[in-house]
Amino acid sequence: MTDDQETALDWMSASEEDGQEPTDLRPDVPHPARMYDYYLGGKDNFPADRAAAEKVMAISPRVRLSAQANRAYLQRAVRYLAEQGVKQFLDIGTGIPTAGNTHEIAQQVHPDARVAYLDNDPIVLVHSRALLAGASHGSATVVQADLRDPAGILAEPRVHELLDLGQPVALLLFAILHFVDDESDPYGIVRTLVDALPSGSYLALSHGTADFISPAQAGRGPAVYCAATERLTLRSREQVSRFFDGLELVEPGIVTAPLWRPERPEQEDDAFTGIWAAVGRKP
Ligand SMILES: C[S@@+](CC[C@H](N)C(=O)[O-])C[C@H]1O[C@@H](n2cnc3c(N)ncnc32)[C@H](O)[C@@H]1O
């Protein structure tokens, strides 16, 4: 059996054990979550995903480094937030589980930390449920939801079962807002979610940018994603800063992912990773 067949079988058996209908994997259509998994060196991807990912890498060779830097930033940011006393996490755009997921990092600091994972991709959901079957009972949940429907997220009973939105929550939007185009009002979406959280809550995000590549390259990357199931809207540092209106930016402010509170001295080269990263606190 090939690795791809094994991947498909893993997914299908996960959904059957879970009592769900088997999910249509659509292996012939490139999928952003599986492309991202490929950048990270995971095995949960198919030839169509790899081919699309390779096209993006040909246009922007740093994309794999960017994905890895994003994931490492996510883990540092979650640890930082937990160290600030946050025990509740609303992680939207979870992605296919990989090493060092949000609940694993948060629970290293607070064993009773709780994480609601939300993603609109049924494939991610199947895989996340399989992972969470091993999580300590009641500490994490995974819900199919779309970021473009923030009212639906805030009304979701499974979120309320796990999280007390009267207490500080860290809203995590890592590498997802570039899949929300301007017509879908990404700033309004973030404002609606942040407005629903109490003082002492945080917004942590990362966002793809074309600030470090040529306009020609910037135009070709999103075109590959157009052929996949999502469109890509890269945003500038100034555009990313608007997500933090009304929040207090945590030091060092808006920087590229490797430069957000690095644990080792970064190589100068890493600094130009095409991912803006920032954390803000609600006063
Ligand atoms: C690049 S992955 C990021 C995974 C993880 N947050 C990380 O940073 O490592 C983006 C994820 O966002 C999800 N996504 C994209 N658009 C979404 C939307 N409108 N609502 C919910 N999830 C979405 C995709 O399915 C995918 O799993």
Half-sphere exposure of 103 (CA within 13 A, CB side): 23
**Structural domain range at position 152:** 73-213+234-281
Averaged in consecutive runs of 10 residues, what is the pLDDT profile of the chain (283 residues)? 50 45 74 88 90 87 87 96 98 88 94 95 82 69 95 97 97 96 97 98 95 70 56 92 98 95 74 88 98
29 in any annotated domain: no
Q: What is the pLDDT of residue 131?
A: 72
In the block, residue with structure tokens 């025990």:
87
37 lines ligand 1 (CB under 6 A): no
Distance from C-alpha of 33 to C-alpha of 30, rounded to nearest angstrom: 9
Q: What is the pLDDT of residue 211?
A: 86
Q: What is the pLDDT of residue 236?
A: 94
- For residue 240, the surrounding DSSP H or E stretch is helix 237-241
- Ligand 1: nearest atom to the Cα of 145: 21
62 in any annotated domain: no
48 in any annotated domain: no
Structural domains in the chain (count):
1
Contact criterion met (CB below 8 Å) for 30 and 61: no
CATH of the domain at 251: 3.40.50.150
Kindly give the distance from the C-alpha atom of residue 77 to the centroid of ligand 1, in angstroms, as a whole number.
Answer: 17
Q: What is the pLDDT of residue 218?
A: 65
Kindly give the distance from the C-alpha atom of residue 118 to the centroid of ligand 1, in angstroms, as a whole number.
Answer: 9
Token pair belonging to 156: 């979701």
Tell whether omega for the bond before 252 is within 30 degrees of 0, i.e. cis: yes
Helices and strands per DSSP (H, E), number in the chain: 11, 8
